[in-house]
């Protein structure tokens, strides 16, 4: 009898705890916005860089534009101590991670950190495998608000289970954390990670070029902007994106060496695709042009739209793809992405088109409803959908319009 009681109790405890753990709700209801150290600084991270970046986020107007997370990528780690606790590299972070989190929080911002589901991170530092609950507890004690969780050194691990373990560990530690899955899309996280993380990478690493593939020694590649946009088109991943769970097209390369038009196209496409807007440049020292792109309020509003519907490619006109994103108030964002080097003149007769969503229930018929056409780069209304709109999309650039419902 006693034995049966124990089994029943055991089953009850198992059932209640196994359904208890979940990702933190109410976070990343719109795509996360912030900055990450990796694209520009690689392993050269330290507390001065992070503090100065937090200062710059405020002073540049980025905070006001919506950027919130200051994220340290790989290479902040020291060794594990004798109790297995992860420590920081004391030369790079002499004041410790808690003090750094306090500093970032004092600016009204949030601090993110990086770990890995395997035994070691991609740069060879200690990963969280076997230490998930202990590491999550440490992050909570430090006051960490965002965790990017990578996938190096994970031979023999199944991605879904490994990411669920860290999700549950974060939940057990109790401090709300945006959980960013960095598995490069290999195991198709869009199919299973809706309840696991708040965003999932869909590709290998980005590279600051418009359409190149950069081949590394060792047989792996980094990818230009259009390569990432195209990478998962066969899987039609837009249908899996929505509030609290986003396709992550990788941290941005705006301000990292591309031409202005390419940077504009990159930024606006990340906005159209609901990607997290995580700047990857040195925001302490950026050109006015870069700052203006990153802080364009009306393009950011497209990304942060509460409806959370990712754009689809409606059609291609020669070298130019036409992308459509329904917005919460009945407006529509439309982007014309020119992949060629040549300028493309377009005379777009709206009433010849019906934008029908291939996955959701949106349909926009311009013979039925009129919209004003607002150019989001110039901030000017340039016409109405009852007339044709004539414009030029420069080579390797993008025009973005908000169609304002009348």
Instruction: Please give the positions annotated as active site.
Output: 150, 205
- Phi-psi category of 240—alpha, beta or left, where left has phi over 0 and alpha has psi -120 to 50? alpha
Write the CB contacts of 84 (distance below 8 Å, at least 6 apart in sequence).
Answer: 131, 134
Kindly give the interhelix angle for 132-142 and 96-106, rounded to the nearest 10 degrees: 50
**Could you tell me the smallest distance in angstroms from the CB atom of residue 28 to ligand GAL?**
18
**Could you tell me the smallest distance in angstroms from the CB atom of residue 282 to ligand GAL?**
17
Q: Find the part of the chain contacting ligand GAL (CB under 6 A) among 115-123, 127-135, 327-335, 398-406.
A: 115-123
**Could you tell me the smallest distance in angstroms from the CB atom of residue 182 to ligand GAL?**
5
Contact with ligand GAL (CB under 6 A): which of 72, 100, 113, 122? 122
Contact mark string toward ligand GAL, 204..243, x via CB under 6 A? -x--------------------------------------
**Could you tell me the smallest distance in angstroms from the CB atom of residue 328 to ligand GAL?**
31
Can you give the length of the chain in residues? 406
Q: Which is nearer to ligand GAL, 121 or 338 (CB)?
A: 121
Q: Are 405 and 377 in contact (CB under 8 A)?
A: no
- Sign (positive or negative) of CA dihedral 300, 110, 249, 213: positive
DSSP-assigned states of every residue in 259-309: -HHHHHHHHHHHHHTT--EEE-S-TTS--HHHHHHHT-HHHHHHHT-TT-P
Q: Which is nearer to ligand GAL, 135 or 397 (CB)?
A: 135
Q: Which helix (H) or strand (E) holds 172?
A: helix 159-173
Partners of 375 in beta bridges: 380, 401
Q: Find the part of the chain contacting ligand GAL (CB under 6 A) among 119-127, 239-247, 325-333, 342-350.
A: 119-127
Q: Which is nearer to ligand GAL, 74 or 262 (CB)?
A: 74
Q: Is 123 in the site for ligand GAL (CB under 6 A)?
A: yes
Q: Is 139 in the site for ligand GAL (CB under 6 A)?
A: no
Q: Find the part of the chain contacting ligand GAL (CB under 6 A) among 103-111, 121-129, 311-319, 350-358.
A: 121-129
| Residue matched to tokens 């016409």 | 383
**Could you tell me the smallest distance in angstroms from the CB atom of residue 183 to ligand GAL?**
9
Q: Are 107 and 53 in contact (CB under 8 A)?
A: no
Contact mark string toward ligand GAL, 53..92, x via CB under 6 A? --------------------xx------------------
Local structure of residue 328 (DSSP, 8 states): T
Q: Find the part of the chain contacting ligand GAL (CB under 6 A) among 2-10, 57-65, 118-126, 165-173.
A: 118-126
Q: Find the part of the chain contacting ligand GAL (CB under 6 A) among 80-88, 117-125, 321-329, 351-359.
A: 117-125
Q: Are 319 and 338 in contact (CB under 8 A)?
A: yes
- Sign (positive or negative) of CA dihedral 345, 350, 351, 357: positive
**Could you tell me the smallest distance in angstroms from the CB atom of residue 204 to ligand GAL?**
7
Two structure tokens written together for 330: 């009945």
Neighbours of 5 (CB within 10 A): 9
Residue ranges in contact with ligand GAL by CB under 6 A: 38, 73-74, 121-123, 150, 152, 182, 205
């Amino acid at each position: 009898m006693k034995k049966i009681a124990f089994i029943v109790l055991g089953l009850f405890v198992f059932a209640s705890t196994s359904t208890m753990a979940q990702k933190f709700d109410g976070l990343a209801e719109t795509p996360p916005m912030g900055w990450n150290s990796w694209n520009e600084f690689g392993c050269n991270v330290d507390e001065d860089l992070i503090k100065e970046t937090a200062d710059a986020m405020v002073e540049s107007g980025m905070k006001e534009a919506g950027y919130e997370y200051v994220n340290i990528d790989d290479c902040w780690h020291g060794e594990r101590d004798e109790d297995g606790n992860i420590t920081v590299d004391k030369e790079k972070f002499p004041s410790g991670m808690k003090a750094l989190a306090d500093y970032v929080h004092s600016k009204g911002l949030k601090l993110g950190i990086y770990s890995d589901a395997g035994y070691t991170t991609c740069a060879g530092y200690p990963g969280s495998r076997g230490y998930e609950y202990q590491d999550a507890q440490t992050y909570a004690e430090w006051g960490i608000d965002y965790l990017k969780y990578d996938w190096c050194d994970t031979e023999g691990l199944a991605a879904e289970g490994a990411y669920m373990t860290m999700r549950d560990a974060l939940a057990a530690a109790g401090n709300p954390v945006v959980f960013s899955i960095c598995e490069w899309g290999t195991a198709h996280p869009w199919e299973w990670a809706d309840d696991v993380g708040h965003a999932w990478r869909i590709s290998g690493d980005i590279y600051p070029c418009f359409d190149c593939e950069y081949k590394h020694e060792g047989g792996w590649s980094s990818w230009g902007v259009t390569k990432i946009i195209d990478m998962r088109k066969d899987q039609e991943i837009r249908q899996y994106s929505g509030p609290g769970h986003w396709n992550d097209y990788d941290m941005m390369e705006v301000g990292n060496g591309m031409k202005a038009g390419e940077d504009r196209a990159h930024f606006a496409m990340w906005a159209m695709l609901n990607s997290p807007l995580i700047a990857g440049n040195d925001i302490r020292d950026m050109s006015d042009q870069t700052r203006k792109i990153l802080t364009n309020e009306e393009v950011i509003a497209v990304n942060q739209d509460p409806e959370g519907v990712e754009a689809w490619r409606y059609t291609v006109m020669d070298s130019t793809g036409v992308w459509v994103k329904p917005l919460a108030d009945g407006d529509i964002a439309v982007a014309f992405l020119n992949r060629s080097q040549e300028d493309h003149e377009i005379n777009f007769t709206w009433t010849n088109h019906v934008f029908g969503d291939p996955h959701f229930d949106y349909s926009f018929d311009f013979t039925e409803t009129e919209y004003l056409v607002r150019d989001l780069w110039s901030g000017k209304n340039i016409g109405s959908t009852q007339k044709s709109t004539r414009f030029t999309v420069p080579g390797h650039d993008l025009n973005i319009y908000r169609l304002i419902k009348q």
